[in-house]
Amino acid sequence: MEPVIETFESRKKHMCVKGEGLSIPVCDKASMPGTVTQRTCVYGGARIVLMPITDSIHLVHGPIGCAACTWDIRGSKSSREDLYKKGCSTDLQEKDIIFGGEKKLFETVMELNRLYNPGAIFVYATCVAGVIGDDIKAVCKKSQEITGCRVIPVQSEGFQDHNKTKGHWIGGDALLDYVIGTREPEETTPFDINIVGEFNVAGDLWGIKPLLEEMGVNIISTMSGDSHVEEIAQAHRAKLNIVQCQKSSNYVAKKMEKKYGIPFIKVNFFGLGQTVNSLREIADFFGDEEMIERTEKIIEKGLNGVQDEILDYKKRLTGKTVALYVGGNKAWSLVRAFEEVGMDVIMSGTKNGIREDYERIKETVRDGTIIVDDANSTELARLLKKYRPNLLISGAKEKYISLKLGIPFCDFNHDRISAFAGFKGFISFAKEVDASVSSPVFNLTSTSLSDNLTLKDNLKTENPLDNISSTNLGGDQHVP
């Protein structure tokens, strides 16, 4: 069978087409050294899971670069503190590498506690901190005893694994081992829940929260978007966990089920149908008649508000194709949302997918969809060139690869501009997708001055209006 694209022999099995040959791609393998990997490190994985806790200091124990390149990148919004946005580092120096960095870490923790009196200080281990053998746990314990502030070790040495999913788990472990279950709520209700794996990127949580509150559920904590550490500390009293980002956070939900007997359901607030299903599933779980009734009203109101608003967008987007190349969750959670605006997902891939992620993708996409694992930058460019989607959904590192090829792009990762979750979010979603796919600038990207000069000569003999209509008025931009 023809490979999806030309690449290294060992990489070919990392790509497949649903319904042909391989059922899911080979995945969860180390990236090939020497390629431009789109993956990051375990530290990065842990950091993005915990960083949205807004009342906490996130202290990176390592040389300056690990903090300097990551301190502002989450795009996660806060309704309260902005302490989490500070870029804190122990800035390890050569002498610390030789003599150990524990003392410096201790002093830094004490100092940050004095300066900010934070809800917690999360201390992230980096590669070097691990190699020199700093006992971060001991330092955290000691400084917590002295200060009374929660000082939480995150054993996230970057090199631990090729897959940053491990970092998500380590971040989850920090919450499970040091935070969850350490405080009792003043009041409980029969409808207490936690929202797990919702990071409030661009304010997504704020599209979901009002719906849930109107239903009558009580949100104890969010892990970790727009959260305070003391809220997460009470999470063990929830009756239900709902999991939005199942890539990063099934782990925490499963562990909480085991440890505290809290059941969880997988939800998805991207797209109308998914939002409706998620709300109904939550209401069904509680089985409260009034809640079920309220939920139906919320759904009716929500849907009514949306349909008219998206008509225009949908008209322009129908029949357009989209490729997803994301961290994990969005590779399946966005598929239906795109179908609802009339678009066709022709490729879905992840950088860090594990087997269960690809099973999810396979269940979600239609036959003929390309499924891709860990594509490096060269492979991504080849995929885009060969299959020419009308839109790529990915992150900052992929953005300009796509744009340079004249393929419209939306950043649905840390740099996302608007909130997409829930009913209102779906309007923003359609609007933002339309703003990329339908922009007339992409009609111009494959033109050149010399072509235009020749074209002008030819046009003299033809009716000029024939050509204008196809080049300027938002027709099909890309002929595959």
Partner 1 sequence: MSHDNCHHDKKFAVINPSKICQPMGAVQALLGVKDTIPIIHGSQGCSTYMRFQLTRHFREPIEVASTSLSEKTVIYGGEFNLMKALKNITEKQTPRMIAVASSCLTETIGDDMVGIIEKFKDANQDLPIIIPVSTPSYTESHVEGYNRTIKALVEHLATKSVPTGKINIITGNLCPADVTRVKDILKTLKCDNIILTDTSENLDGPLTEDTLSLYEGGTSVDEIEDTANSMGTIALSKHVNSAGAYLEKKFGIESISGPLPAGMENTDEFIKSLCTLGDYEIPDSLEKDRGRLLDAMVDAHSYNYHRKVAIFGDPDFVSGMTRFTAEMGMIPSVVCTGTESKIFTNDMNLISHEKGISPVVLAGGDLYDMHRAIKKTGADILIGNSYGASMAKEENIPLFRVGFPIFDRLGAQRISTLGYKGGIEFVDRLTNTLLDFYYDEAGYEIIEEETDVEKTLNTYPVMEEI
- Touching partner 1, residues 335-394 (CB under 8 A): 377, 381, 385
- Within 159-288, where are the H helices? 165-178, 205-215, 229-233, 246-260, 272-286
Write the interaction track for partner 1 spanning residues 188-227; mark x where CB under 8 A is met and - where it is not. Answer: ----------------------------------------
Shortest spacing between CB 137 and partner 1, in angstroms:
19
Which one of 27-35, 285-293, 362-370, 468-476 is the stretch in contact with partner 1 (CB under 8 A)? Answer: 27-35
Q: Give the residue with the Cβ less far from partner 1, 40 or 274.
A: 40
Contact between 425 and partner 1 (CB under 8 A)? no
Contact between 32 and partner 1 (CB under 8 A)? yes
**Rg of the chain (C-alpha set):** 24
Q: Give the residue with the Cβ less far from partner 1, 34 or 287.
A: 34
* Cα-to-chain-centroid distance, residue 362: 19
Q: Give the residue with the Cβ less far from partner 1, 111 or 312.
A: 111
d(CA 61, CA 102): 9
Q: What does DSSP assign to residue 59?
A: E
Bridge partners, residue 373, by sequence? 350
Backbone angles phi, psi at 352, to 5 degrees: -125, 20
Q: Give the residue with the Cβ less far from partner 1, 181 or 327.
A: 327
Write the interaction track for partner 1 spanning residues 296-315; mark x where CB under 8 A is met and - where it is not. Answer: --------------------
Contact between 20 and partner 1 (CB under 8 A)? no
Q: Shortest CA distance to 471 belongs to which of 460, 409, 459?
A: 459
* Cα-to-chain-centroid distance, residue 359: 18
Look up residue 219 and give its two tokens.
């949100």
Shortest spacing between CB 127 and partner 1, in angstroms:
4
Shortest spacing between CB 8 and partner 1, in angstroms:
7
| Residue from 5, 15, 25, 38 in contact with partner 1 (CB under 8 A) | 38
CA distances from 321 to 318, 334, 341 (A): 9, 13, 11
Q: Give the residue with the Cβ less far from partner 1, 41 or 175.
A: 41
Residues 6+ apart with CB under 8 A from 450: none
Region 127-166 residues binding partner 1, contact defined as CB under 8 A: 127-128, 130-132, 158-162
Region 85-104 residues binding partner 1, contact defined as CB under 8 A: 85-94, 96-97, 104
- Look at the block and give the residue holding tokens 């800035």: 91
Q: Give the residue with the Cβ less far from partner 1, 311 or 417.
A: 417
Backbone angles phi, psi at 307, to 5 degrees: -50, -50
Residues 6+ apart with CB under 8 A from 251: 168, 169, 172
Residue 118 in contact with residue 83, Cβ under 8 Å?
Answer: yes
d(CA 266, CA 270): 12
Q: Give the residue with the Cβ less far from partner 1, 240 or 354.
A: 354
Region 435-454 residues binding partner 1, contact defined as CB under 8 A: 445
| Residue from 33, 287, 475, 480 in contact with partner 1 (CB under 8 A) | 33
Contact between 112 and partner 1 (CB under 8 A)? yes
Shortest spacing between CB 145 and partner 1, in angstroms:
19
Shortest spacing between CB 420 and partner 1, in angstroms:
21
Task: Please calculate the CA angle 356-249-203 and round it to the nearest 5 degrees.
Answer: 125
